[in-house]
Copies of this chain bind each other. A is one copy, B any other.
């Protein structure tokens, strides 16, 4: 397809809220929070109806270049200019040959329903405190407070305060850093010393475990729960690997 024809097509499509995808040979350059150049090659360019632009190479999960929603899209000769004032960024696609184009106005009012995130995990632990310890009494599941963004907060049978940090994947050194910071904040704000730190996760790396122990904190092995029960059957068959 002729590049000028493509430019007109994109202009019309954007007015009609269509999403456009094109296969083309191109050079790409970007400047914004960082800078990049990408030499001549074949890519898939996506222009969404919210003026998101994606540049995909033939392999890999992620776009090699992108511009966020709300960008301005213009054409100048064979250059596709994408500009985002808020991000102070621009992307230029030098179009050498447009192979094929497809477009469609997509009607989609649905939102993804996802289960198994960290919130599901701390909800589960609040309702099943024995997973932490036999005498753990949860008090609050909180997000932002003056003591930080603690996942789960409570106390034990001896009156010690307990701070629980949840991770849905193997806990790393950074998770221990985070727990340590929360425990120190609680000690500071509550003016007490007997605060127990608990890291709840399906696993922990060796160095993180060592650091956890050195701070007197406790690891609690907990799997992230899966709320969408209808998938349990399928999960079981997957577990047979």
Chain B residues with Cβ below 8 Å from A37 are: 112-113, 228
Also in contact, A231 and B31, with CB within 8 A (given A46-B56, A58-B49, A113-B36): yes
Bound-complex Cα distance A37 to B84 (A): 32
Chain B residues with Cβ below 8 Å from A135 are: none
Chain B residues with Cβ below 8 Å from A168 are: 33-34
Copies in the complex: 2
Also in contact, A108 and B66, with CB within 8 A (given A35-B226, A116-B33): no
Bound-complex Cα distance A203 to B43 (A): 36
Chain B binder among A2-10, A96-104, A158-166, A190-198: A96-104
Can you give 30 A-B contacts (C-beta < 8 A)? A17-B58, A19-B56, A19-B58, A31-B231, A31-B235, A34-B226, A36-B113, A36-B114, A36-B228, A38-B113, A39-B110, A40-B110, A41-B107, A42-B104, A42-B105, A42-B107, A44-B46, A44-B104, A48-B56, A48-B58, A50-B59, A52-B59, A58-B106, A61-B68, A85-B241, A88-B241, A90-B238, A100-B103, A174-B174, A177-B181
| Interface, chain A (partner B; CB < 8 A) | 17, 19, 21, 23, 29, 31, 33-44, 46, 48-50, 52, 54, 56-61, 64-66, 68-69, 85, 88, 90, 99-117, 168-169, 173-174, 177-178, 180-181, 224, 226-228, 231, 234-235, 238, 241
